Structure 1
Amino acid sequence: MDVEYLHHGVPLADYQLTKADRRRQDEAAQVHEWVQRQLAKAPPWSEERWERMRQLLGPPVPPWELQRWQLRLYCGHVVEATRSRERPRPDGGVCDEERCPECGMDPAVIVAFEPPANNHSPKSSRFARRPPSDRRSKAELVAENNALRAELKSLRGQA
């Protein structure tokens, strides 16, 4: 899978908030407050219920399936976060906000983002599969292996 990672609002340090950013932040804060009120009313979960939830969610995502991003949050801080490598941008779906580790703003919507320069796309990752054009047949690999073994044997004979 080839993913072209996108960017928005670069350079992050110079990004200026828009009316849409302010509206999204206000909406996120309202939703967050509503959820907090609902959670306060809810009865506590038993350990069995928590265990069932862990089973439903499954194991954590392995690190090689994650992409690091530089995020500019509504509060103005630039932070690093990880998201699935399969998505071209970090602010889609349910992950369009973060808790700011610097000032504690929660939620702080993502207003600008970029993948760090030292990140590699999945196709260049050491965990990614090689493209079909780079693959060699089994016969080619066996022939190369035999040639290397013969070379090694002749070198040992010379010593």
Structure 2
Amino acid sequence: MAKDLEGIQQAAHEEVDRHLKEVYADPELTAAHHEQLTKVWKLIQSSKTPPHRIMPWRVRLYCGHIVMTSCHAENDKPPRSTKCPECRKGPSRIVAFEPIGLAGEPPNSQTATPSAPRKSSRAELERRIAALEEKNQRLRDEQAI
């Protein structure tokens, strides 16, 4: 089965190489190819997952090494296996894991700076002053008695 997979992989590489040779042989196809790649790259960049939706995980691999990996925060577990950066075994099965915490702070409308209070109009201020002066006069009259 491994030989079948290697054969398929080799055939795919050869097909891609053949296609790219055809594309790069024609200047018009090359320009169109680069234009399409630019569009695809912009699309990939625009849909990048924000950090507050990424969960980093500390994982122990079957090979014994402890490494970091990450996946979307909606997942309750990391992927089942990953390539070990230390011994290069890949894929190596994840045998234990723990979440570290979100990669970034979520945007929160409650922690945003409050907007400046609305300034009162002159008429509102004058009414407030008149009411306070009346109250002040009433309190003076009560103390006099």
The TM-score, its normalising length taken from structure 2, stands at: 0.50
Q: Verify: 1:51 aligned to 2:37, yes or no.
A: yes
Aligned to 2:7: 37
Deviation at 1:80, TM superposition (A): 0.3
**Equivalent pair of 2:81/2:92 in contact (CA under 8 Å):** yes
Aligned to 2:72: 84
Q: Which amino acid in structure 1 is aligned with residue 8 of structure 2?
A: Q
How far apart, in 2, do the equivalents of 1:53 and 1:36 lie?
32
Q: Which amino acid in structure 2 is aligned with residue 127 of structure 1?
A: P
Counting matched residue pairs gives 101
How far apart, in 2, do the equivalents of 1:53 and 1:39 lie?
27
Aligned to 1:67: 55
Q: Which moved more, 1:35-44 or 1:72-81?
A: 35-44
Identity %: 25
Aligned to 1:152: none
SS in 2 for 1:39: helix
Q: CA RMSD in A?
A: 3.9
For structure 2, list consecutive stretches of 5 or more residues without a partner in the other structure: 24-32, 121-145
Larger of the two Rg values belongs to structure: 2
Aligned to 1:127: 106
**Equivalent pair of 2:51/2:105 in contact (CA under 8 Å):** no
Deviation at 1:111, TM superposition (A): 1.7
**Equivalent pair of 2:60/2:67 in contact (CA under 8 Å):** yes
How has the CA–CA distance of structure 1 residues 35 and 64 changed in structure 2, closer, same or farther, with 3 Å as cutoff?
A: farther
Higher RCO (CA 8 Å, separation ≥ 6 residues): 1
Q: Which amino acid in structure 1 is aligned with residue 54 of structure 2?
A: L
For structure 1, list consecutive stretches of 5 or more residues without a partner in the other structure: 1-29, 148-159
Deviation at 1:79, TM superposition (A): 0.3
1:106 counterpart (75, 90, 104): 90
Q: Which amino acid in structure 1 is aligned with residue 106 of structure 2?
A: F
